[in-house]
Amino acid sequence: MFKTIEWKNNSVVMIDQRLLPTQEVYRKYKDFLDVAEAIREMVVRGAPAIGVAAAMGIALGALDIKTKNKKGFLKTFENVCKVIASTRPTAVNLFWAVERMKGVVRKNPKLNIEELKQRLVQEAKTIHKEDILINKQMGRNGSKFIKSGDTILTHCNAGALATAGYGTALGVIRAAVEDGKKIKVFADETRPFLQGSRLTAWELMKDNIDVTLITDNMAGYMMKKGLIDLVIVGADRIAANGDTANKIGTYSVAVLAKEHKIPFYVAAPLSTIDLKIKNGDKIPIEERDTREVTHIPAPASIKQGKNIQIAPHNIKVKNPAFDVTPNKFITAIITEKGIAKKSFEKSLKGLFGK
Amino acid sequence: MFKTIEWKNNSVVMIDQRLLPTQEVYRKYKDFLDVAEAIREMVVRGAPAIGVAAAMGIALGALDIKTKNKKGFLKTFENVCKVIASTRPTAVNLFWAVERMKGVVRKNPKLNIEELKQRLVQEAKTIHKEDILINKQMGRNGSKFIKSGDTILTHCNAGALATAGYGTALGVIRAAVEDGKKIKVFADETRPFLQGSRLTAWELMKDNIDVTLITDNMAGYMMKKGLIDLVIVGADRIAANGDTANKIGTYSVAVLAKEHKIPFYVAAPLSTIDLKIKNGDKIPIEERDTREVTHIPAPASIKQGKNIQIAPHNIKVKNPAFDVTPNKFITAIITEKGIAKKSFEKSLKGLFGK
């Protein structure tokens, strides 16, 4: 089995998700700036995996701080955190991980620089380990929504590749399979980055889970034909009222699901829930490079920049990487602490023990 | 300006739409079997353009019949028609054109073989010429639905490239521009064949019409942001009750338009309306090669079969090329004979003078 991300001898090793499914290449990062670039360039993606990468990047950056002066260390550490936090705006797990790493420093004012560095490495490893356990618990909580014989539509990749392992939406699917349920999955290819065709299809095939690939614009057709029993997606940020930012196209799937009276589930850890944000309108939506839309990277030649042009030269392009699905379209939010239902505001707070 | 299809010295010349937008290559066909293959392989596509290509293909096939025996000629002519009719199942203009060419033979029982051949060539040329005039009339009829300042979403390519020229949905847009209205167009890229990014974006840019490219799954986001004022699409077959088969993804756009209370127009000539088919359930939907979904053709190398693989080897794929939008999602159908509105059954019949 592949490993999405790993801490190994004071370096971060990640599978290069841009090259899948045709090449399984692992990249080793020793400098936190390169981890930041890897997050930005989507070598690693998926909200929980970005959180883990951020934590590990900060640990790398901390290890590399040269000064022996504690005040100087703290100042540089702040700057490391700033660089990591500036890589991508939408997935809140990034900021959650940065805050958690900052918390290590804040809560241990008496430790010396060397001790702090070791604690930070430890914390990054812990976040990694916890993420897998959280996903497995989420899977156990969500499996009950899936019946044997169901066909599930998913969008983007909320799988092992989007997390430290196991996955959120695909974690629920894995748990259902482990419970002995016979299920089928339809994967939206998820333009422009093709996380569905390149990643979800690939990791489900590796696990021998029955998966069929469709283009994003076929989801409505499949629902109308009665071929989809439920939808499960992941999330990049969930507002206090349950509005959910996820990969672009999720909103369209949710509208289609409502039209066809198909339940629509979101699976995400508490670290994806941002109680500080009242509703989805306040979630910042990343606009990415237009070349993601106008060109298809030839996987074997990403480094050489050889891309296939599929649109006219100089065409105007919009490329919002996420959209927000209003809470009214969501049947339930599956977390490691339990299920949130309407009204989500109260229900989500409850999961945090508030 | 480019020419989609032309009859030239007893051959059919077509722009190879698989190579756009990076290469503008014209192909010359002297054998009707090659025209059939060009329709199948989508060198030419779009319901009205397929109709013209079918007529010209049949004319080519007729010219090539060797026998001097009238009965033999008629038998071979039937077979030519059969081959052309078997190329693609959904767009009814193909069958309409075949019937019209057959009509030339049926209505002129006294003509000799040479005279029939010339009449068939003439009929194919007439169908070509009429199609442009029909589109211009459709444009004039539809322009009234567009206000200056509007932003229009379109899906697939229902433009000059989908017809003998001018276009159906894009014809309405062109007419609005000619009427001095300031408009903007959003083009869905339209996976898997990318008619939106490769063809619609290209031909609108050629005409200096303001066009922005989005992936199919961004349409909902744009509507929710209030950026779309109306939707106009073409059609491959319209049933007697107004249910409309069009490029896969059209149905999803229609559901999204309804959710956002955005008018949804279909622009199509009477030759696309199939009164013999009661409703959309009866329209045959073509399933195309799965490689359209799993691979991106490198335009420069289509002949060499060099494609970029974007999905795992052996992944299961569905590739319906069309879907059906039920009449309840359609605000109006714009034809060259006028506008059909609810109830469509009565209104469409009326356009045929029935």
Q: Is A231 on the interface with B (CB under 8 A)?
A: no
pLDDT in tens, B269-298: 999 999 999 999 999 999 999 999 999 976
B-chain residues near A246 (CB < 8 A): none
Residues A252, A127: one domain? no
pLDDT of residue B297: 78
Going by pLDDT thresholds of 50, 70 and 90, the confidence category of residue A204 is very high
Of B213, B221, B248, which is closest to A293 when you measure between CB atoms?
Answer: B213
Average pLDDT (B14-36) is 96
Alpha-carbon distances of A267 from A47, A159, A185, rounded to whole Å: 12, 11, 16
Query: Tens digit of pLDDT for each residue in B221-268?
Result: 999 999 999 999 999 999 999 999 999 999 999 999 999 999 999 999
Q: What is the mean pLDDT of residues A221-228?
A: 98
Q: Do residue A130 and residue A158 come from a single domain? A: no
Q: Would you call B306 an interface residue with chain A, using a CB distance cutoff of 8 Å?
A: no
Rounded mean pLDDT, A202-206? 98
A108 and A192 in a common domain: no
**Contact at CB, B221 and A310, closer than 8 angstroms:** no
Q: Where are the alpha helices (DSSP H) in chain A?
A: 32-40, 47-63, 70-85, 92-107, 113-142, 169-178, 195, 201-206, 219-224, 250-259, 291-294, 344-351
Percent of chain A residues past pLDDT 90, beyond the cut: 95
Structure confidence by residue, pLDDT tens digits, A318-352: 999 999 999 999 999 999 999 999 999 999 999 99
Backbone phi, psi, residue B308, to 5°: -95, 125
**Chain A nearest CA to B83, separation (Å):** 29
User: Using a CB-CB distance cutoff of 8 angstroms, which residues of chain A are in contact with residue B311?
Assistant: 21, 189, 194, 197-198, 201, 213
**Predicted confidence (pLDDT) at residue B301 exceeds the cutoff of 80:** no
- The tens digit of pLDDT for each residue in A19-54 reads 999 999 999 999 999 999 999 999 999 999 999 999
Q: What is the pLDDT of residue A237?
A: 98
Dist CA A5 CA A322 (whole Å): 23
Per CB-CB distance under 8 Å, the chain A contacts of B328 are: none
pLDDT number for residue A305? 56
Quote the minimal CA–CA distance from B203 to chain A in Å: 10
Mean pLDDT of B320-343: 98
**Rounded Cα distance, A209 and A203, in Å:** 9
Q: Does A105 touch chain B (CB under 8 A)?
A: no
**Cβ–Cβ gap B252/A251 under 8 Å:** no
Q: Which of A81, A108, A135 is the last residue of a domain?
A: A135
Among B327, B324, B325, B331, which Cα is nearest to B345's? B327
Domain of B88, in residue numbers: 5-135
Q: What is the pLDDT of residue B304?
A: 54
Mean pLDDT of chain A: 96
Q: Measured between alpha carbons, how far is residue B239 from residues B26, B236, B278 in Å?
A: 34, 10, 6
Mean pLDDT of chain B: 96
Please check whether residues B56 and B32 belong to one and the same domain: yes
C-alpha dihedral (B159, B160, B161, B165), degrees to nearest 10: 140
In this structure, are A75 and A190 located in the same domain?
A: no
C-beta of residue B232 within 8 angstroms of C-beta of residue B172: yes
Q: Which of B79, B164, B61 is nearest to B116 (CA)?
A: B61
Model confidence at A300: pLDDT above 90: no
B150 plus B112 within the same structural domain:
no
Question: pLDDT per residue over B164-196, tens digit each?
Answer: 999 999 999 999 999 999 999 999 999 999 999
A131 catalytic? Reply is no
Residue pair A216/A252 in contact by the 8 Å Cβ criterion: yes
pLDDT at B299: 58
Nearest Cα residue to B230 out of B336, B119, B296, B151: B151
List the CATH number of the domain containing A63: 1.20.120.420
Cα A223 to chain centroid, rounded: 25
Task: Please state the domain count of chain B.
Answer: 2
A193–B contact, CB cutoff 8 A: no
**pLDDT at res. B307:** 81
Calculate what percentage of chain B has a pLDDT beyond 90: 95
Q: Is the pLDDT of residue B303 over 80?
A: no
Which one of B102, B135, B168 terminates a domain? B135
- Asked if residue A167 and residue A115 are part of one domain, the reply reads no
Q: Which of A127, A109, A112, A114 has its CA nearest to residue A57? A: A127
Are residues B62 and B205 both part of a single domain? no
User: Nearest Cβ partner of A220 from B214, B215, B323?
Assistant: B323
State mean pLDDT over B94-112: 98
> Scanning the structure block, which residue is given the tokens 């409703």?
B279
Residues A189 and A246 in one domain: yes
Residue B17: pLDDT over 80: yes
pLDDT of residue A218: 98
Q: Decide: pTM greater than 0.95.
A: yes
pLDDT band at A354 (very low <50, low <70, confident <90, very high): confident
Q: Could you tell me if B149 and B116 lie in one domain?
A: no
- The CA distances from residue B267 to A217, B142, B337, B339, in Å, are 20, 8, 11, 9
For residues A164 and A121, membership in a common domain is answered with no
Residue that finishes a domain, picked among A135, A162, A196: A135
Tracing tokens 């433009």 back to the chain, one arrives at B159
Does A252 share its domain with A202?
yes
CATH (domain of B152): 3.40.50.10470
**pLDDT (mean) for B325-332:** 98
pLDDT at B305: 56
The answer, for B19 touching chain A at a CB cutoff of 8 Å, is no
